[in-house]
Structure 1
Amino acid sequence: MSRLMLVGATGLVGHCVLQQALADARVHQVVAPTRSALSPHPKLLNPLVDFDQWPVDAEWWAVDAVVCTLGTTIKVAGSQAAFYRVDHDYPLQVARLARQHGAKAYALNSALGADPASRVFYSRTKGELERDLQALGYGSLTSVRPGLIGGERQQQRPAEQLAVRLSTWLQPLLPRRYRVVPADRIAHHLLEAALAAAPGVRVLMSEQLL
């Protein structure tokens, strides 16, 4: 039985991970720190936190594995600096604190094209996070790199939603790497990676998630 931390539980993929983890007999408890309260569940521990001031000595950091699905857009964040804080700094802080309290596995929802040397700010941020996570010494580290994500978001992203619709229409003509990946499929792979805790560093590309 595993104790799993989920960061990003209110997002599209994070919500799917939460539902799957709560229904999974292998998971004893889900620790999901959020800014606002989630719906209660017997297996859910939901500490309310300020992501800029993590409670570094909280007992709930002691988990077996972490799934991170935190992410935003530059438009929502308001600036590149704010975006970087959410998509790089927060996931890295969580990884560091959980590792210090004994976590052995970390599974990250990254993005297609993640590359610390990329000229594209978004892709470079994702790549720098993947690179920096490797320095923390997790026995098992998995980065999942989906392209377009299918599903209904609470937060509207018009450009992304249009791209998803177009890609869905063109699905039979597109290479597998560029097809829409349902959020629940991404969640499945993240949860399995965290629970299996296979040794080493792994990257799952978008076409492997379908």
Structure 2
Amino acid sequence: MTKKYKALVLGATGLVGKALVNQLCNDDRYEIVICLVRAPLQRANYHDPLDKIQAIVIDFDYLQDYQGYFSVDHVYCCLGTTIKQAGSQSAFRRVDFQFVHIAAQLTRAQRATSFVWISSVGANAKSKNFYLRVKGEVENAILSMPQLDNAAAVRPSLLLGQREENRFAENIGIRVASLLSPVMKGPLAKYRPVSAAQVAYQMIKLQVF
């Protein structure tokens, strides 16, 4: 009998998170997709004909209290914000470092098979750019974590897709990068804008089946 997998998704309401959950619901290997969310899911955003989604509303400030939900096969972390959304660098770091790091720790504690999360192209703990520095720091923290053998990060550039909120500066960047995309070859290829669906697909490919 073919093994059926259980997945846990954090950040299921974001651009990549939505694409990921829909792909998991359409993936015959998965029987359950648990989504830890801040507010109830808008079911219209998800195609779930087999009723795989189990949405659990939680307080991420107390993520440790929900560690039982990490007793799955695969953990997908799509958590992330912007400094503008968060309101300050410390609030940004709380989401993009602290929450993601805790999720990895709970994955290890509950012995899930693998942990995949979204980082960023250019992530570097020594970067002068605060955003890229935080992304690099959390990569270092997770990838050096003992007894978490199957951890992997996807490092997308600018994300293509329909967001609920308007990100003016990011939209400008996407337009410019899209125009330059045909000449972004070789080492520059990683800076091409990428669709949320492509990132979600890559996250699933990185899991250990």
Give the TM-score normalised by structure 2: 0.88
Structure 1 CA distance for aligned equivalents of residues 79 and 146 of structure 2? 18
Q: Secondary structure at the match of 2:72?
A: coil
Q: Which amino acid aligns with 2:32?
A: Q
29, 32, 37: which one aligns with 1:34? 37
Unaligned residue ranges in structure 2 (runs of 5+): none
List aligned pairs for 1:129-144, cutoff 5 A: 129-134=138-143, 135-144=145-154
158, 175, 180: which one aligns with 1:165? 175
Structure 2 CA distance for aligned equivalents of residues 177 and 94 of structure 1? 27
Q: How many equivalent pairs are there?
A: 196
187, 193, 197: which one aligns with 2:206? 193
For the pair 1:177 / 2:198, whether they are aligned, the reply is no
Give the TM-score normalised by structure 1: 0.88
RMSD of aligned residue pairs (Cα, Å): 1.5
Distance 1:140 1:177, change over 3 A: same
Contact 1:2/1:195 (<8 A) preserved: no
Contact 2:67/2:106 (<8 A) preserved: no
Structure having the higher helix fraction is 2
Contact 2:64/2:102 (<8 A) preserved: no
Deviations 1:151-190 (A, max 9, x none): 1111211111111112112221223122111111110000
Q: Secondary structure at the match of 1:168?
A: helix
User: Structure 1 stretch 71-80 or stretch 166-175: which is displaced more?
Assistant: 166-175
Distance 1:71 1:57, change over 3 A: closer
For the pair 1:50 / 2:53, whether they are aligned, the reply is no
The Cα of 1:92 is off from its aligned counterpart by 1.0
List aligned pairs for 1:198-209, cutoff 5 A: none
Q: Secondary structure at the match of 2:57?
A: coil
Distance 1:117 1:65, change over 3 A: same
The Cα of 1:142 is off from its aligned counterpart by 1.1
Q: Which amino acid aligns with 2:58?
A: V
Q: Which amino acid aligns with 1:146?
A: P
Unaligned residue ranges in structure 1 (runs of 5+): 197-210
% identity of equivalent residues: 35
Partner of residue 68, structure 2: 59
Q: Secondary structure at the match of 1:170?
A: helix
Q: Which amino acid aligns with 1:29?
A: I
Structure 2 CA distance for aligned equivalents of residues 33 and 181 of structure 1? 25
The Cα of 1:136 is off from its aligned counterpart by 4.5
